[in-house]
Chains A and B, each alone.
Chain A
């Protein structure tokens, strides 16, 4: 931290050092919270009467699907910020969040399938929530594919931001339409039993795990954003100063 004169340079420089100091804390918080959450989920929470032990999957499934949706919304917020105020950092955060969000969407789908097999008797059920999650996964993939296809960073930022905003406007419409479709075809599909009134201890476990995933997502996104900053700003003065001060 010898060169305090970074601060007069652009905000990515400030962000870079700040994020570097914050990342270990977020990783630590994620680790501690997941140990607590798993302890609640596996030791304190009792066996479910209907589902037996298989329900313990929800301690990862539900937090992952919550966060996968939340991250998409956060991405769209950064996108709106970036387009409105033309801040490079917002776009970088948006791009940094997408792979983590896609990964969590995949986790939600995977654990949903593994939970569905013993519970519904099928790996995959065209249930409204699972289907929406699958579509969310497609939206993440589309966003990342678009950004990857554009070489010019400025255009990649803006095009990605626009598709993220279009996506987030569509998500409620998609969710509504999928639910509507699902209720109409209920006769043909496996009846999805409603989650029995959740015991407080289970809810607590899920919430703690959700916070753990949240902290992890922040750490991963900050770390990725730092790499993006380095990649994009390696020609700038502050990167040179930073690297020289390290050596």
Chain B
């Protein structure tokens, strides 16, 4: 099988599994919506304040939601032995790992991007800022899946893995948060979002090149 075929077969499998477990996807999505909706209740309904906070709140919620979905990435495949089979296949691990991360992003990241404008409207973001918000999430959420995969692979099968993964991964998410929320801020204040978005893009490229290798090493460490 060629690389492309492997990845597409893997993607089809992952997406089919996700369709069968729609509940998981929806849980993460509603978590995202609920967390973002809690902030106005916490800080009060001041429109001006909410408009200032909006981008940051949606981004923090996206971070937490992405983290929540990391458990699914390898745990089920680890439990039923699929992961061991994948390691035994002749396909280089980096290829199928990238495929799995891509599938994870399509299942957990893309829904966030689609729902984010609704949350943005709740916070009174301008139309331009809504577009920037979606675009920054489009560039940023894959990074969340990529970096998160390293944490998920390292904590595979550990007790308290869920909390541990947040401790490992959240500090590493900070640049994505800063550039993502900064892009929305830039759009709101009229300073422009290009600089933030291009930095976010370069973080994405860097993460895309490096993390699959780290995940591959982490899986080898955890599966030994």
Interface, chain A (partner B; CB < 8 A): 83, 135, 138-139, 141-142, 145-146, 149-150, 154-155, 158-159, 162-163, 165-167, 169-170, 173-174, 176-178, 180-181, 184
Contact = CB atoms under 8 A, between A and B. Distances in A.
B172 interface: yes
State the 3 A-B residue pairs at the shortest beta-carbon distance, nearest first: A177-B175, A158-B221, A138-B171
Interface stretch (B38-46, B86-94, B159-167): B159-167
A205 B222 CA distance: 46
Best-surrounded residue of B170, B174, B214, B217 (most CB of chain A within 10 A): B174
B115 interface: no
Interface residues of B, number: 29
A178 B175 CA distance: 7
B154 to A, nearest CB: 5
A166 B149 CA distance: 12
Interface in B165-224: 167-168, 170-172, 174-175, 178-179, 182, 185, 199, 203, 206, 210, 214, 217-218, 221-222, 224
B155 interface: yes
B150 interface: yes
B164 A162 contact: no
A138 B174 CA distance: 11
A155 B222 contact: yes
Interface in B55-86: none
A170 B173 CA distance: 10
B172 A170 contact: yes
A146 B182 contact: no
The secondary structure that dominates the B interface is helix
Given A149-B158, A162-B214, A142 B221 contact: no
Contact of B167 (A142, A170, A176, A180): A142
Contacts of A83: 217
Contact of A173 (B155, B175, B214, B224): B175
B170 A150 contact: no
A166 B206 CA distance: 12
A145 B174 contact: no
A163 B215 CA distance: 11
Given A141-B167, A154-B224, A167-B172, A162 B178 contact: no
A167 B206 CA distance: 14
A166 B150 contact: yes
A182 to B, nearest CB: 10
Contact of A149 (B164, B170, B175, B217): B164
Contacts of A167: 171-172
Contact of B154 (A159, A177, A184): A159
A174 B179 CA distance: 11
Contacts of B221: 155, 158-159, 162
A163 B182 contact: no
A155 B158 CA distance: 11
A174 B171 CA distance: 9
A173 B207 CA distance: 11
B179 A177 contact: yes
Nearest to A144: B167
Given A146-B167, A155-B224, A162-B214, 8 more contacts: A135-B174, A138-B167, A138-B170, A142-B168, A155-B222, A159-B218, A159-B221, A184-B185
Given A135-B171, A163-B154, A178 B178 contact: yes
Given A162-B214, A184-B182, A150 B158 contact: yes
B178 A181 contact: yes
A167 B161 CA distance: 19
24 contacts: A83-B217, A138-B167, A139-B171, A142-B171, A145-B167, A145-B168, A146-B154, A146-B168, A149-B155, A149-B161, A159-B222, A162-B154, A162-B217, A166-B172, A169-B210, A170-B175, A173-B175, A174-B174, A177-B174, A177-B179, A177-B199, A178-B174, A180-B182, A181-B178
